[in-house]
Amino acid sequence: MILVTGAAGFIGSNIVASLNKQGYNKIIICDWLDHESKKKNIQKLNYEEIISPENLITYLNHKNNIDIIIHMGANSSTTESNFRLMYNINTRFSRNIWKWCTKNKVRLIYASSAATYGDGTRGFNDSETEKYKPLNVYGLSKYLFDRYVIKQAKNNICPPQWVGIKFFNVYGPNEYHKGKMQSVVKHALDQYKESGKVKLFKSYNNKYSDGEQTRDFIYVDDCITLINWLLENKNISGLFNCGTSIERSFDDLVKAMFKAINVAPCIEYIDMPNNIKNQYQYFTKANMNKIKNRGYDIQSTSLEEGVYDYVTNYLLSDDKYK
């Protein structure tokens, strides 16, 4: 039996869809169905029951047939400033799941984030010894759990398999409930439909021209491929990046969107809000050597291919859900 937290969310629902395709139907999903799009994210999925997050630990204490927990549930808002809220959801709740998995010898795969790396000046290496300075409360809440995990694992107080996946900039179907935290692909298409142009933030770093700020954009299908590999390789544990190792600019991404709809690019550069300026990452690039050295064969979807698939087969389709 597999339990997936955040299963009605973006990556979580894609995971369950993939498990279903592989023949797994004995799945328990844990999430709040507090948004119409989250209900639609699971409408095609096969699962046994839904558990609310606040009831999860009590539920688990009465179950003895859980083999794996895939913990994707989190508050992923990078602009949230309430530390206590973030800590309770992203750190404390995750610790409780870790403790339960450790006690009951259940494998655990959980979502970390590239936001734990801060401004990138210390690199994006998924080392378990290097210390980083996250730029926002979300990144800090994820970082604190990562540090807890590393300490527990060093003392062998850990599940039989444990993996923290540091997701970089993921885009793809089933992200529609995320509001401002939706990918730039989705925002760009919405802006074009509304005004005929796409707005991107100006750069306030002399190293980067407007629109040339970069990210390691990864299509959600590639994230699912990595997770499936980890499920098959239960001897693999540790913190691992999930990216492409390729920097691409926001201009590149938006131009790929325009190409997918066969329209000439029209981009306007706007001022960045003051509350974002001091916590803005100007580049991200995953170092994927660690997982490659463990045997994972990375075959990433190109930005142009991923954006085209997302736009044409989902965003412009009558049915945009996986």
List pLDDT tens digits, range 177-215. 999 999 999 999 999 999 999 999 999 999 999 999 999
pLDDT score, position 275: 83
Asked whether residue 71 is assigned to any structural domain, the reply reads yes
* Euclidean distance between the first and the last CA atom of the chain, given in angstroms as a whole number: 22
* CATH number of the domain that residue 98 is part of: 3.40.50.720
Q: Are residues 199 and 100 in the same domain?
A: no
**Shared-domain flag, residues 92 and 72:** yes
**Same domain, residue pair 47 and 128:** yes
Q: Is the dihedral of CA 71, 140, 114, 126 positive or negative?
A: negative
C-alpha to C-alpha distance for 20 and 23, rounded to whole angstroms: 5
Taking 70 as the pLDDT cut, the residues of the chain under it are: none
Phi, psi of 132 (to 5 degrees): -125, 170
3-class DSSP assignment, residue 314: helix
* Domain assignment present for 209: yes
pLDDT at position 93 is 97
Could you tell me if 205 and 145 lie in one domain? no
Structure confidence at residue 125 (pLDDT): 95
CB 226 within 8 A of CB 295: no
269 in the same domain as 235: no
Regarding whether 93 and 78 lie in a shared domain, the answer is yes
The predicted-structure confidence for 254-282, as pLDDT tens digits, reads as follows 999 999 999 999 999 999 998 888 888 89
The answer to whether residue 322 sits within a structural domain is no
Instruction: Please tell me the predicted confidence (pLDDT) of residue 66.
Output: 96
Question: Is 178 annotated as catalytic?
Answer: yes
Q: Are residues 123 and 190 in the same domain?
A: no
CATH of the domain at 208: 3.90.25.10
Token pair belonging to 89: 């959801």
In eight-state DSSP terms, residue 116 is G
Q: Are residues 275 and 259 in the same domain?
A: yes
Question: What are the distances in angstroms from CA 157 to CA 31, 152, 209?
Answer: 27, 5, 47
Q: Are residues 139 and 276 in the same domain?
A: no
| Domain contains 320 | no
- Structural domain contains residue 143: yes
Catalytic option among 117, 132, 138, 143: 138
Of the residues 99, 148, 178, 296, which is catalytic? 178
Tokens read off for 70: 């895939």
- Whether 282 is catalytic is no
Report the Cα 119 to chain-centroid distance in Å: 18
Q: Crossing angle, helix 137-154 and helix 93-104, to 10 degrees?
A: 20
Domain that includes residue 208, residue range = 172-214+247-281+307-315
Please state the domain count of the chain.
2
Classified as helix, coil or strand, 317 is: coil
User: Quick one: 128 and 196 in the same domain?
Assistant: no
